[in-house]
Chains A and B, each alone.
Chain A
Amino acid sequence: MRGRLVHVVLLIWALLVTLPLLWAVVSSLKTDAEIFDSPWSLPATPRFDNWARAWDEASIGRYLLNTVVVVGGALFLTMLFGALVAYCLARYPFPGNGVIYYTLVAGMLFPVFLALVPLFFVVDQLGLLGTYHGLILVYAAYALPFTVFFLHAFFRTLPTAVAEAAFLDGCSHAGVFFRIMLPMARPGLVSVGIFNFLGLWNQYLLPLVLNPDPDRYVLAQGLAFLAVSQGYRSDWSGLFAGLVIAILPVLVAYILFQRQIRDGLTAGAVK
């Protein structure tokens, strides 16, 4: 009896999670009139032209492309820099090592809101406001503390014997890092990579302040912008379609890699 009650509760939450998403998908295939008529009705004929309209006219396609460029660049930079710094700090004792490590890790304690105003002026003065590379550099800088923190712990646990053997064979420091340590650290890199990817993909505050040019909007910005502008034009079906297009890549990635994604995200929290 109690087991059944628990199951009902579980089922209700499952419905709460899925219904809004399913509803968005169904609504994205309806006409505006059908949307206003009843939120629960099914479309008479599925309107895929809503999706096309969202992609072209509402620029979801462009926003998606902007996001891919910015997040891709930032992810690459974050992983390269994060791994390099974490490796050096974990494996090379030198004066100032501890100071650098704690300065980096302390970055996790500060809310981004605190930096927002000066950051805007720093980026502006460097002429990077509203540029891809400006956003990439800022994303990477703010993702660095956690990446270093996570990978530092990871590099410490790797055995030293392989690296030492490579040094004896005449391998350079950079060679040891790229050809030996980096491949050995692969599981850690995957975890923190997934964590960073989602964090960067979902950024809203930083692009809102640093990326004012509508042509360069990332997806999160674009959707928020559309919610206002399409609202005025009452193109609800187009907006629903945009929303669904924004959700789809995440859903596909989750279906393919759900185990790795959940492990990657929660590994960050347990540390």
Chain B
Amino acid sequence: MRHGRYRFLAGAMIPPLLLYAVFVVSPYAQAFYLAFTDFNGVSSDVDIVGLDNFTRLWSDPLFLSALRHNGLMLVVVPLVTIALALFFAASTRGSRLLRAYRVLYFFPQLLSVAIIAVLWQFVYTPNSGLLNGFLDRVGLSTLERSWLAEPRLALWCVMAALIWSAVGFYVVLFAAAIESIPADLTEAALIDGAGPFTLFRRITLPLVWDSVQVAFVYLGIIALDGFALVQIMTVGPGGPDNSTEVMGLSLYRNAFTYGKYGYASAMGVALFFLTLTLTALMLRATRRERVEFA
């Protein structure tokens, strides 16, 4: 049994760990170093600049507006998505037909973010787009807009596409949690005269809270990103008038358009700490006493 044990372990683990060290661990470690330098792509010419990059971040109006936009997404996207998903999950219990909705709702989750971005760009196209075409058909042509060209609307349009693609996944996630609630609990509440709203608030929601918590963290991370949708969908990208700028886009542009790699790395570090804080906060703020089924 001992024979060849270490040889097997070495053979099995060294190649994957090497891969991980080269492409994951080392870049992350280097990022923390680069964030304190003025690295511009020429390695012979690197100076340590201390916290300069970070102080510049706080006076960079574009990054600050990106931060605000991600902040808005952080509030809107999880709340709307979770509210819709909970409603759909709770109302598709029962018949086959109702469950079929879940299958349908889930589909956008499988689409690549590039597909979603291109599709929704078409939906919002002013002259031949689906949305304006629809408004025209139902006699609401006064509401027609060039959706992605108006600074006040563009970010909301991006968020709508994001929510559209995300809801189905959480419907399925919550539905699984709801289905694991023992039937006698629900029945007892119904016998005691609970209406559907009370039933949802007092029984369903507390018992699926673990899943809701997970959803908050996942959607929070998605809301801090938003890069691909914005980069493909919006004019500029990030426009009009920087109204859809997000942190990922600032980072990408500073690194791969301007060659300010040190500064971009500082943005990466800021993004990392935001993500970490967010995860910790969400887990704390949404913590409740766990309910165990006896």
Contacts and interface: CB of A to CB of B under 8 A. Distances in A.
Contact of B265 (A21, A117, A173): A117
B121 A141 contact: no
Interface stretch (B9-17, B50-58, B184-192): B9-17
Contact of A224 (B23, B104, B109, B114): B114
A114 B123 contact: no
Interface residues of A, number: 89
A236 B128 contact: yes
Given A85-B16, A141-B22, A118 B265 contact: yes
Given A114-B268, A227-B232, A17 B121 contact: no
B20 A107 contact: yes
A246 B103 CA distance: 20
B122 A118 contact: no
Interface string A197-231: 01001101100110000000001110110110000
B164 A16 contact: yes
A206 B221 CA distance: 17
Q: Which of B12, B101, B129 has the most CB of A within 10 A?
A: B12
Nearest to B218: A269
B119 interface: yes
B240 interface: no
Interface string A250-266: 11011000100110011
Interface in A123-180: 123, 137-138, 140-142, 144-145, 167, 172-174, 177
Contacts of B255: 116-117, 120
Contacts of B265: 114, 117-118
Given A266-B173, A270-B173, A88 B30 contact: no
Contacts of B17: 85, 100
Q: Is the interface of B mostly helix, strand, loop or mixed?
A: helix
B127 A17 contact: no
B101 A117 contact: no
A103 interface: yes
Nearest to B171: A13
A111 interface: yes
A243 B115 contact: yes
A258 B109 CA distance: 12
Contact of A118 (B31, B103, B169): B31
Contact of A113 (B111, B129, B251, B276): B251
A68 interface: no
Contacts of A239: 118
A118 B84 CA distance: 39
B275 A111 contact: yes
Contact of B268 (A116, A220, A246, A270): A116
A246 B9 CA distance: 41
Interface in A27-70: 27, 35-36, 38-40
B63 interface: no
A230 to B, nearest CB: 10
B114 A223 contact: yes
Contact of B251 (A82, A116, A167, A221): A116
Contact of B8 (A121, A172, A202, A270): A172
Contacts of B119: 20-21, 24, 243
Contact of A138 (B23, B104, B167, B276): B23
